Structure 1
Amino acid sequence: MTTATDRTDPTAPGGPQAHDSPGAPGGAAAPAAIEVHGVHKWYGDRHVLDGVSLTVRPGTVTAVLGRSGSGKSTLLRVINHLEKPEAGYVRVGGELIGVRRHGQRLRELGERAILAQRGRIGFVFQNFNLFPHLTVLDNVAAAPVATGRLGRPEARALARELLGRVGLGDRAAAYPRQLSGGQQQRVAIARALALRPGVILFDEPTSALDPELVGEVLAVIKDLAAGGTTLVIVTHELAFAREVADEIVFLDDGRVVEQGPPEEVLDAPSHPRTRDYLSKVL
């Protein structure tokens, strides 16, 4: 097994070639929004991701389905380099994430460079992860200020705009403890948008919510999808996935066993593991 800091360079001669950049000579197509290639991840002896490969086109919505423990959340965390794969690589917008080429190998980037890359990849967690001591407004404004992208006045103006977009313009002065779970998750979405990411990853964004609060969060995600934001959503909400997703990916035991449009994967699945899963949840 290779280590996370010593992996074969996928762009080296004889390996998968790097994407051409937009506008490259010869009319090459723009890079995929996200490319996951041959990713393996272990936790001890447990093989959580087993050679996962996945391509997400810009401006599309991909819903990732599967049983608990199938590797869905780990896949998102690898894309954002919150988890380091032992093999394989991830590109976002054509750029290798978390590593750089060093001869024939890939070497881990420094923490500052990784943090800069994460600033271009929005992540919405299951449990909100808001700062309890900051107001809603300052929770949203914090990242643009901390990364030096905006001054405090500009970041707060952007935060007000984004809170209005998620329907919470009137709660800017509130603290997280004063909000419902659905409102806190909408603040978390606004916070993810504050860095103007190229893609947004959602890790079961409604799983921690009471059933009556799920709809308000899904409505915000639908609005993002309609606006052309590239989204990858781990979810158990099959009706929602059918409505918003361009592509369904079904993970089982750390492998992509089925992938395709919702009408194919949900209505006429070809793999027996997908059929078994859907028979239990539909």
Structure 2
Amino acid sequence: MPAIEITNATKTYGDRTVLKGVDLAVEAGTVTVILGPSGSGKSTLLRAVNHLEKLDEGYVALDGELIGVRVKGDRLKELPEREILRQRSRIGFVFQAFNLFPHLTILENVTEAPISQGVKPAVAREHARTLLARVGLSDKEDAYPRQLSGGQQQRVAIARALALDPEVILFDEPTSALDPELVGEVLAVIRTLAGSGRTLVVVTHEIGFAREVADQVVFIDEGVVLEQGPPSQVLDHPQHPRTRDFLGKVLA
């Protein structure tokens, strides 16, 4: 059974359908990179995985458990918020814009979620310090987000996503808000996570990273998956004309 199974994912905003019946399976312990032009539905699909976006049709399952909904008769019914929060603890999310709490120190940002879920503060702090060391920020625990560079803030966001020991981590264009010289430090942390056995799904335009790290590359355009497969196939020998056109422009 795939770790993540997306079935007939459909989402409409007003008169615009951004996801058009997407089906996608992500195997446990693998890295999936999602590529596509702006407005193609990549981020909406990613946010649907942990129910930050509610699908109009279709569903997402993690290890066979429906995310955000349950079956009631022949329909899907929204779960209570506390159940959705429990499910989200299994799925870490790293946002494009960091989304750190500006009034909390770096250590407090990483410990906030575990403590809110009942972890003893001393235990949460010890684990947070281990995670900050893992992303190279042991000396920044007492700093505030405004005192860090963008790359450092994103590394804190990755540590925060790891704080609840999730099975899956989702990255929504984690380097797009960074200056070019800061991109490498964030990708280096994600490369390390790729070898940890966790399931990663990464929306990005970093083609070199996708070629090096991904087990599966998915190309989506106008809410439809046009091509998917190993990097050697999708990146080096794309079959769909739209994929070839996109890669040609990005690589140029």
| Pairwise TM-score range, normalised by the shorter structure | over 0.9
**Which residue is equivalent to 1:76?**
46
Task: Report the secondary structure of 1:275's partner residue.
Answer: helix
Q: Is 1:135 the counterpart of 2:71 in the alignment?
A: no
**Which residue is equivalent to 1:156?**
125
Q: How far apart, CA to CA, are the structure 2 residues paired with 1:38 and 1:236? A: 25
Q: 5+ residue gaps in structure 1?
A: 1-30
Q: Is 1:50 the counterpart of 2:20 in the alignment?
A: yes
**1:116 pairs with one of 78, 86, 110:** 86
**Which residue is equivalent to 2:227?**
258
Letter of the 2:14 counterpart: G
**Which residue is equivalent to 1:169?**
138
Q: How far apart, CA to CA, are the structure 1 residues paired with 2:166 and 2:63? A: 11
Q: How does 1:240-279 map to 2 (within 5 A)?
A: 240-279=209-248
**Which residue is equivalent to 1:85?**
55
Letter of the 1:196 counterpart: D
- TM-score normalised over the length of structure 2: 0.99
Q: CA deviation at 1:113?
A: 0.8
Structure 1 residue ranges (4+ consecutive) displaced by more than 4 angstroms after TM superposition: none
Q: How far apart, CA to CA, are the structure 1 residues paired with 2:219 and 2:132? A: 33
Q: How far apart, CA to CA, are the structure 1 residues paired with 2:242 and 2:117? A: 44
- TM-score normalised over the length of structure 1: 0.88
What percentage of residue pairs aligned between the two structures are identical? 70
Larger deviation, residues 65-74 vs 97-106 = 97-106
Larger deviation, residues 57-66 vs 114-123 = 114-123
Calculate the aligned-residue CA RMSD, in Å: 0.6
Q: How far apart, CA to CA, are the structure 2 residues paired with 1:94 and 1:138? A: 33
**Which residue is equivalent to 1:234?**
203
**Which residue is equivalent to 1:102?**
72
Letter of the 2:217 counterpart: I
Q: How far apart, CA to CA, are the structure 2 residues paired with 1:122 and 1:94? A: 18
Q: How far apart, CA to CA, are the structure 2 residues paired with 1:44 and 1:38? A: 19
Higher RCO by CA contacts (8 Å cutoff, separation 6 or greater)? 2
Q: CA deviation at 1:119?
A: 1.1
**Which residue is equivalent to 1:223?**
192
**Which residue is equivalent to 1:67?**
37
Q: How does 1:11-50 map to 2 (within 5 A)?
A: 31-50=1-20
Q: 5+ residue gaps in structure 2?
A: none
Task: Tell me how many residue pairs correspond in the alignment.
Answer: 251
Q: How far apart, CA to CA, are the structure 1 residues paired with 2:169 and 2:223? A: 22
Whose radius of gyration is greater, 1 or 2?
1
Letter of the 2:34 counterpart: V
Task: Report the secondary structure of 1:250's partner residue.
Answer: strand
Letter of the 1:146 counterpart: S
Q: CA deviation at 1:238?
A: 0.4
Q: How far apart, CA to CA, are the structure 2 residues paired with 1:260 and 1:32? A: 15
Task: Report the secondary structure of 1:155's partner residue.
Answer: helix
Q: Is 1:196 the counterpart of 2:162 in the alignment?
A: no
